[in-house]
Structure 1
C-alpha cells in the first residue's frame, strides 16, 4: 500500500472522491509534473478499484510497465506512482491487469492532453500556469445578470468553420486571430463551441468523448485553447462549451470496462447502453462518477475560464426509456421511468457550479417537457439558469416550410410559444442539429422561389431576434448557407461574393447590432411584462404585431411580421403612445436584398384608437416582411435617438 502523504496526495481528498464530493478531483488525479524531495518528475494517479495491478507505460519504458507498477492507496481504489525525470510531453497509458487475467491499455480519464487521433495515448501537460489577461471580463461578469443582458450566441464547429483542406485544421491560435474579430464585429455576445473534449471520430462532431479533461489535439495544445478563450474575453465575447455528461463512446482505450469491470457505466447494461448512439451512459448513482463529472464541469471553468456549459441531451439522462427498445426498458424503485440518480446528479451539478461560479451559464439542451428545468433546486427545479426552447424551434421551422397560402390554417404555430415563453428561461436555438442529415439548411427550409427564400429567411430571423428569449445561431446561417452543414469541409465562404448572400450577411449583422442597441429586446426576456400582443388573431392575413418592453417607461419596440405573400399597403396597428416612431429595421430594404430602395424612416401616430390602444400607425406591409419600430419622441418631447440604427 502506498503512503499518500509521501507523494502529495491527501487522504481526505480521496475520501471525498469516494463519497462523490471531491469537486476539484483534477488537482489530485491525472499526471502532474511535481518536485518530490530532490527529484523532478510526474505523479500519476488513477481510480481502478477492481484492478489486480496497475502500471504506467510509455515511450520512457518501451511500453513495458514491470518497473513502474503503481501502488494502491488504502481501500480507496486509487493507485498512484511518482516517476522521476519525466515532464510535459511524455506520452503514457495505464496498463491495467484485471481480476480476470486480462491486460488492458487505457488512456488516463483525467489526462489534460491526448495524442492526435488515430493515436490514443495520454500526454503529460502543465495546464495550471497560463497567464490570463481577462481580469476586466471577469470583473464585468460579476456586475451583470445574464437574465437582463443581451445574449446572442454564435455556435461554432472549429474543424469546419475554416480549414486548410481535408483534415488540415487551423490551430487554436489561428482560429483566435480570425474568429474572435469576426464574431465581435458581427455583434455576437458569446461563442458556443461544439465539444472540443478529445474524441476519436471526426464524424461524432465531438459528442462521443474519450478524454473529458483533454482539449482535442486536432487544433493544438491546451494553452493554445486558453489563448483563444483569453482573446475572446479581451474582446468582450463569452465562451460556452458543449458538454456531454450523458454518454461516452465504447473505444477500447476509453472509459468502458476501465478496470475490467463497468465502473463508469454501471453493471445494468439495460440502463448503460445507448442503442441510438452506440454509446454508454454514465452510472450517475456511483459517487466516484459524480466526483469525476462534476469536477470536469468545474475544471473547464476554473482552469480554462469557460463561461458556461451547454449540457447536451438532458432528456436522455432523466428518462430511463429515452430511445430504448421494449426489451431494454427499466423502471426506478417507485415504478416510474424517471432516472432518479441522473436527476439528483443534475441538481448537485448545478448547485456546485453556482457555488464556485455564481455568474456561470448552465444551459440545458432538453427536448422533454420536464418542468422547472431553470428553477432553483430549493424550489424543486433542476437548477439550470437557461434551457433551449426546442418547441419554438420545431414549430417555427415547420411554419416557415409551409406555402404562405397554407399558413392561415396553422397560425397557432407562431403564437403558441408565447403561452409558455416565460415558464423557463429560454434560449431560442437555430443550431447545427437543424442543418444536417437531410434536414436542409435554414435558407433551403424556407418555402417558395429563390427570391422568396431569402425574403422569408430575413423575416424569420427578425421574428426570432425579437421573440422573448436569448438567441443562438449556427455558423453559416448568417449569410444563408444553401447547402447542409458538412463536418469535414469548411463553410461556403465563397457565397459572400454573391449579391443575395452578401446582402443576407449584411442584414444579419445589422439585425445583430440593432438587437444589441435596443434594450427592450432583451432586458425583460424572462419577464412576462416585457411582452405584449398588439395583433395576435389575424390568421386570415398571416400578420402578427407585438411589443417588447424594457425597464424604462418609454423603452419599447413594435414588431410587425407579414408571413403572407400578399401586399398590404395600408395596414393599421395600435400603438401605446402618441408621437413619432422610426424604423429600426425593415427586412425589405434594398441594402438587405429587398425591393424597397427607400423605406419610410419616420411615422407619426394618429389619435385613432386601434387594437385596444389609444393611438395607431398606418404601415405599408410588403409580402414576407419584418419591420421593427422604435418609439422615438412623444408629441412634445425630443427624439430618443439622434441616429437611426440599421437603416444606413
Structure 2
C-alpha cells in the first residue's frame, strides 16, 4: 500500500491524521483478504449467504438452513404441520453454529406459513428465520410469520441491463404506502400505475424508495427493520415490486433502495433481537447494544457472520430485484461510538480522535466495494451529517467508496433562514456559500428538503412560508401576500439548490408542488388514521388552485438541468453578488442564473459582466405560468453592451430588469 493515499494528497489538511487514515484503509484490505480466503474468491463470491441460508426449493426437495450457535434444538413449524413440533421437521446441527433441514418437495407448498421453534439453555421461543424472503402479517391477530414463496411463474425482467442516467442524478424520494390519494396504505401496483407516470413526466431519472425491508410498525417509516431480506408485504408481493422496478427501468428511471444497516428493531419474535436466546448474536455487547436515541439495536460489525449477513443482503437486493443501488440510512450513527449524538464536529481532529467505530467503517467500505463489484453502474449514497472526509471517495484512494453523500447542511440552512431571518436579512453571498459548501473531491446530493422536514414535529418549506393561509388562500384569485411570498420563495429556494449541484438533486414526493401539512402515520394517537399518510394529488391536478404552479415550475427547472450535458460537472462561476441589493448571479457553461432576494425592490438595467453575445430567458420564477407577476417580457433577446474597459477580459455588460423576489435563467444563444 502506498504511504500516501490520494485522499490525503488532495487535502493536505489531512496529513496530520495520515496514520489513522492509512490504518483504516489497511483494516479494510486485511478484512477483505480474510473474508475472501486470501483472495481465492471475490467479495461477491463471499456475499452469497442468501443462497445457502433460508428456505430453498430444488427439483425434488426443500433445504432450510439457519445460523443459531446458541440454540440447543430447532423445529420448523407452520401450517404444513399444524404448528406442531415434529421430529421430521427437526433441524440438525451441522458446522459453525449452523443448522439444516432437508424435506421432500411435497412436504410444504407455496403460500404456506412457517416459523422456527428455537430452544436454548434456559428457554425457548418462536422466531422468524433471519434469512426469510417473505414475511406476512395476519390481519386478525397482527402476528407476523414467514411465508413459503416459490411461485410457479416467477417474474421475468424485460429491461436488462439497465444503465442509470447520472449526469446529473435527479432523485424523487418516495414511500409506496403513502403515495396514493386515498386514506389507506398504497400498493406497489398502484404506485406503478398512478405515481410512476407522474415522476416520469416531472423529469426525474431516479426514485429512492423508502420502507422496502419488512418492518413491524408502519409508523417507523421503514427504519425499524425486522426482516432484512423480505419485501414489506403490506405493499404487495415480491413479483409486484419487481414489476414496478422493471416498469421504472422502461421509463428510463433508476430505482435505489433506502437500505437500513445502521440498526435493527428490538423485536424478538419478528426480528433478530434475541434470536436463539443470545441477545448478542447479531449485535454489540453491553451498553453498545442499544441505540440510545432510536430504541433499536446496533449491529456488531466486528463479527464476520454479521458482515456475511449484511453484505449478502446488499447483493440480494441488487440481483433478485434489480435495484440500481442504495441510499444508506444512518451512516453517522454507524461511524461513531456516540452515534454522532452531542458531537459538534468542529475540526478534522474530531474525525480521528479514537471515537470512531473502525468495524463499521470497514463494513461500509466493503459494502461499497461489493456493490460496485456486483454492478459497476450501481449508485450508493450516504446519509451522513458529520462531514467525515473521504466518505464519497474511491476505496483505492483511501475513501469509503460511496458515489454520493447527502448535503444535509442545505435543508438545515433553509429551515434556519426561514425561521430566524426576516426577508431583508437574506444574504445572497451566504446562500451561495452554503449550497456550494462541500468537499470538492466528493459528489453530493443537494436538496432543499427531504422526508425529514415533512414529518410531524417539523414543517416543510411551503408550510413554514405560508402556514395556516394554505387552508384558505391557495385558490387562484384569492392569494394574499403570504401566499404570493411563499410561492415565490419556494421556487427560488429550489432553483438555487438544484442549479448548484455537483452530483445530484433530491426532492421528496409531493414537495415539488408544495404538499400541505405534515406526514403523520396511523397510530393510536390519531385513531390509526391514514389521513396524513398519503399524498393529495388532487391539489396539483386542480387548475383552479395554485399548487400546479409549483409543480409546473419544478418540471421546467428539471427539464433545463436535464438538457445541459454533464450539468453537475460544469464549474460554478460567481458573476456578482451584492448583499445590500440582495442580488446574486453565477454561470455554468452558457447558462446564467440571476436571483433577486430583495422582497420589495426591483432593479432596472442591473448590469453583469458576461461573455459577449445574445442571451435568452429560458426560465423565470416570476412568469405568470408559474404563479408570478409576469413583470418581464421573456420573449426579448438580451444583447450584451460593449465596454472598452473589459475588452481584454472578453466581457460585456448584460443588463436586465429583475423584479423583486424573483429569479431567472438565461442561455447564451450566440
TM-score by length of 2: 0.83
C-alpha separation in 1, matches of 2:280 and 2:551: 49
Distance 2:353 2:634 in 1: 63
Where structure 1 has 5 or more consecutive residues not aligned to the other structure, the ranges are 1-11, 327-333, 550-555, 634-648
Matching residue of 2:584: 544
Structure 1 CA distance for aligned equivalents of residues 45 and 668 of structure 2: 53
Q: 1:533 to 1:108 in 2, by over 3 A?
A: same
What does residue range 241-390 of structure 1 map to in structure 2 within 5 Å?
A: 241-253=257-269, 254-322=271-339, 336-390=354-408
- Residues in 2 aligned to 1:580 and 1:325: alpha-carbon distance in whole angstroms: 53
Structure 2 SS opposite 1:181:
helix
- Aligned pair 1:451/2:468, yes or no? no
Answer yes or no: is 1:587 the counterpart of 2:587. no
Counterpart position of 1:120: 144
Q: Is the 8 A contact 2:261 2:328 kept in 1?
A: yes
**What residue number does 1:624 align with?**
661
Deviation of the 1:68 alpha carbon = 3.9
- 8 Å contact from structure 1 (residues 574, 613) kept in 2: no
| Whole-Å separation in 2 of the counterparts to 1:165 and 1:435 | 18
Distance 1:154 1:582 in 2: 29
SS in 1 for 2:46: coil
Q: State the alpha-carbon separation in 2 of the partners of residues 13 and 173 from structure 1.
A: 40
Q: Distance in 2 between matches of 1:418 and 1:459?
A: 16
**Residue 119 of structure 1, CA deviation:** 2.5
1:514 aligns with 2:586: no
Paired residues for 1:190-229 under 5 Å: 190-229=206-245
- CA 1:284 to 1:456, structure 2 compared with 1: closer, same or farther past 3 Å? same
**In structure 1, how many angstroms separate the alpha carbons of the residues matched to 2:609 and 2:354?**
50
The answer (yes or no) to whether the contact 1:55–1:65 under 8 Å persists in 2 is yes
Q: Does the CA-based 8 Å contact 1:195-1:206 persist in structure 2?
A: yes
**CA pair 181-383 structure 1, distance change in 2 beyond 3 A:** same
Go from structure 1 to structure 2 and tell me whether the alpha carbon gap of 1:216 and 1:359 turns closer, same or farther (over 3 Å shift).
same
Instruction: Check conservation: 1:485, 1:491, Cα contact below 8 A.
Output: no
Deviation, structure 1 residue 110? 1.0
| 1:105 and 2:126 are equivalent in the alignment | yes
1:134 to 136, 156, 159: 159
Structure 2 residue aligned with 1:79: 99
Cα distance between partner residues in 2 of 1:54 and 1:610:
83
SS in 2 for 1:519: coil
Per-residue CA deviations over 1:538-580 (Å, capped at 9, x if unaligned) read 111222111113xxxxxx2111111120333325343442111
Structure 1's 131 and 358: CA in aligned 2 closer, same or farther, altered over 3 A?
Answer: same
Inter-partner Cα distance in structure 2 for 1:70 and 1:610: 86
- Partner-residue secondary structure (3-state), 2:552: helix
Q: Deviations over 1:127-158 (max 9, x none)?
A: 894211112xx2544xx7x3xx1221111111
SS of the residue corresponding to residue 115 of structure 1 reads strand
Q: Structure 1: how far apart are the matches of 2:162 and 2:295?
A: 43
Deviations 1:455-507 (A, max 9, x none): 10011111122112311100111111121233433212232224311211211
Alignment of 1:337-486 (within 5 A): 337-401=355-419, 402-408=421-427, 411-420=429-438, 422-429=440-447, 430-446=449-465, 449-469=482-502, 470-486=504-520
Q: CA deviation at 1:513?
A: 1.5
CA contact (8 A) 2:585 2:595 kept: yes
SS in 2 for 1:541: coil
Q: Say if 1:113 and 1:13 are closer, same or farther in 2 by CA, change over 3 A.
A: farther
Q: Distance in 1 between matches of 2:303 and 2:581?
A: 57
Given that 1:404 and 1:565 are in contact with CA atoms closer than 8 Å, whether structure 2 keeps it comes out as: yes
User: In the aligned structure 2, how far is the partner of 1:349 from the partner of 1:185?
Assistant: 33
1:20–1:55 distance in 2 versus 1, CA, 3 Å:
farther
Separation of aligned partners in 2, 1:531 and 1:441: 28
The answer on whether the counterparts of 2:90 and 2:101 sit within 8 Å (CA) in structure 1 is yes
Secondary structure of 1:530's partner?
A: coil
Structure 2 residue runs without a partner (length 5+): 1-34, 344-351, 467-480, 522-529
Contact (CA 8 Å) 1:226, 1:304: kept in 2 or not?
yes
Secondary structure class of the residue paired with 2:400 = coil
Q: Is the 8 A contact 1:20 1:290 kept in 2?
A: no
Q: Report the counterpart of residue 250 of structure 2 in structure 1.
A: 234
Task: Describe the shift of the 1:421–1:480 C-alpha distance in structure 2 as closer, same or farther (beyond 3 A).
Answer: farther
Q: 2:619, 2:320 → 1: CA distance?
A: 42
Contact 1:57–1:68 (CA<8 Å) still a contact in 2? no
CA distance in 2, matches of 1:596, 1:173: 41
Residues 372 and 382 in structure 1, CA contact (< 8 A), matched pair in contact too: yes
**Distance verdict in 2 for CA 1:491–1:270, change over 3 Å:** same
SS at match of 1:246: coil
For the pair 1:51 / 2:75, whether they are aligned, the reply is no
Deviation at 1:621, TM superposition (A): 1.2
Equivalents in 1 of 2:438, 2:605: separation in Å?
A: 29
Alpha-carbon shift at residue 73 of structure 1 (Å): 4.8
Q: Distance in 2 between matches of 1:20 and 1:362?
A: 16
The question of 1:504 aligning with 2:550 is answered yes
Deviation per CA, 1:347-384: give whole Å up to 9, x if none: 11111111111110010000112101011122221110
| Farther off after superposition, 471-480 or 389-398 | 389-398
What displacement does 1:126 show?
Answer: 2.9
Name the CA shift for 1:205/1:42 in 2 (closer, same or farther; >3 Å). same
Q: Which moved more, 1:196-205 or 1:475-484?
A: 475-484
Whether the 8 Å CA contact 1:98–1:260 is kept in 2: the answer is yes
Does structure 2 retain, via aligned residues, the 8 Å contact 1:275–1:324? no
| Residue of structure 2 aligned with 1:176, choices 192, 196, 206 | 192
Give the CA deviation at 1:228. 0.5
Q: 2:118 aligns with which of 93, 96, 115?
A: 96
Instruction: Provide the rounded CA distance (Å) in 1 between the counterparts of 2:37 and 2:149.
Output: 22
Distance 1:163 1:621, change over 3 A: closer
Residue deviations 1:213-256 (CA, integer Å, cap 9, x gap)? 11111121101110000000011111010000000101121101
Q: Residue 493 of structure 1 aligns with which residue? A: 537
How far apart are the structure 1 equivalents of 2:454 and 2:558?
Answer: 21
Is the CA contact (8 Å cut-off) linking 1:258 and 1:264 kept in structure 2?
yes
User: Residue 229 of structure 1 contacts residue 239 of structure 1 at CA under 8 Å; is this kept in 2?
Assistant: yes
Asked whether the equivalents of residues 560 and 628 of structure 1 are also in contact (C-alpha less than 8 Å), the reply is: yes
User: Match for residue 33 of structure 1?
Assistant: 57
Distance 2:284 2:241 in 1: 36
Give the 3 Å change call, closer, same or farther, for CA 613–160 of structure 1 in structure 2.
farther
Q: What is the total number of aligned residue pairs between the two structures?
A: 588
8 A contact 1:574–1:616 mirrored in 2: yes
